[in-house]
Amino acid sequence: MSKFKKEGSGGAPTMNTASLPDIVFMLLFFFMVATTSKETDPTVEFESPTGTKTMDLTPYKQRSEIDFLYLGTPRNPNRVKAFKMGFALSLDNVVQATPDGLYPTNTVGRWKKDKFSQKPARMSAPIETVITCVKADRNAPSGLIFEIRKQLQDIEALTIAYSVRDKGNI
Amino acid sequence: MAKRDIPEINAGSMADIAFLLLLFFLVTTTMDKDQAYIRNIPKKIDVPPTDVKVQERDILAIKANNQNQLMVRDNIFSDPNKISEFILKFYKTNEQNNDVANNFPMYSSTTTSLCDQNMALLDQQLEEAEQKGAKDQAKFFQNSYDEWNKKKRAIQLYGKSEIRELSVQAHIRVEVQQGTAYSVFAQIHNEIEEALFELRDKECTRLFNEQYSILKRRAAQDSDPLDKDKLALLEILYPARIIEVTPKN
């Protein structure tokens, strides 16, 4: 009956998605530029305290002149009691065992030395200037920090960084 | 010969590939930067020095106990944010005129001629040490020579014949106990850093007419020796001498 022919087949018109990859690539480049790669996913839980006027460690990371160690509560709540004061040290994703219930800090020196010997040959910085960054929970006891510090002093790794979250920088 | 059409490549899955890449970057990266306070650990010495007398006026002790209560120079501080103000007072009280009556560190004047004198003396000592073959001694003399040289350059940059310098023994002492929470420990360092930043920023604006943070960022990136000298001058004017005392209990 109809005099006019219907245009198309009646279904929804297809959308041109040719520019979709471009949009996604744009997003991709934004994330590539605006983020830095994660060091590791630490096996302990911690919440950093906040601070201002901090030093940005990104340049040191780019030169791999920095090692991170984490001090927090173990993820498994049943394990908390195994550590004195409930805080465990995580070095390269290995929570340090504490058979005697003592502070698990006596491995720090060896760990740092191993790390230093594994650095690429092009890196010429002496061990005194290679930063050890302590990422500790807000409630972690300072006594542990000083024990780590003493271990580092023994092997003459003389630069330490106390990690905080910058208030002004999200 | 008939012209053949170049077959078109189906780009429909390009978006999927890009999404995959995007997701990979989303998962493996973080937005937050690593921020920290960098401190130097003193070198271990076999023979501890015999009691060195440090005047009370030169010590600014910031203490925190197991209950996270703060004390600055034996006064209890309920508001930790006030510590930086006290540190400012520690640096600024005697900056213009020395007053023996107040309990704050003295300032002394360093002139270029004094730098020259010391450098000449150290040069001589360095030569003697090298002749004797005492390596450690030679290294020590070399370091002090470099320090005086740095100071001399700083005075020249300062634009005056002399510079007011804080007493060499003046220092900030961080004393915490075993059980003090890390947040309090970090807060103390935060306050120190805040005070130093304020002092240096003010001087930086006065002398070079630019912000300290901008100068610092630029000095980290470029190799202009003038920027490094400027930073050295500010560090000589307001030195960060921090001693962290290992807790005993």
Give the contacts of A106 (CB within 8 A, at least 6 positions apart): A151
| Mutate: best of A40, A57, A142, partner B, most B CBs <10 A | A142
Q: What is the pLDDT of residue A10?
A: 65
| Mutation site, B23, B70, B183, B214, interface A, largest A CB count within 10 A | B183
Contact (Cβ atoms closer than 8 angstroms) between residue A139 and residue B185: no
Q: How far is Cα B232 from Cα B238, in angstroms, rounded to an integer?
A: 10
Residue-wise pLDDT for B53-63, tens only, equals 888 888 889 99
pLDDT-derived band of residue A5, with 50, 70 and 90 as boundaries? low
Helix H or strand E encompassing B37: strand B35-40
How far apart CA B123 and CA A1 sit, in angstroms, is 111
Q: How confident is the model at residue A161 (pLDDT cuts 50, 70, 90)?
A: very high
Number of helical H runs and strand E runs in chain A: 4, 9
d(CA B148, CA B122): 9
Residues of B in contact with A24 (CB under 8 A): 15, 18-19, 22
pTM for the whole structure = 0.81
pLDDT tens for residues A100-141?
444 556 778 888 888 888 887 777 778 888 899 999 998 888
Helices A142-154 and A108-117, packing angle to 10 deg: 50
Whether residues B187 and A49 touch (CB distance < 8 A) is answered with yes
A-B Cβ pairs (cutoff 8 Å, strict): 174
* Domain layout of chain B by residue ranges: 56-106+167-249, 113-159
Q: What is the pLDDT of residue B189?
A: 92
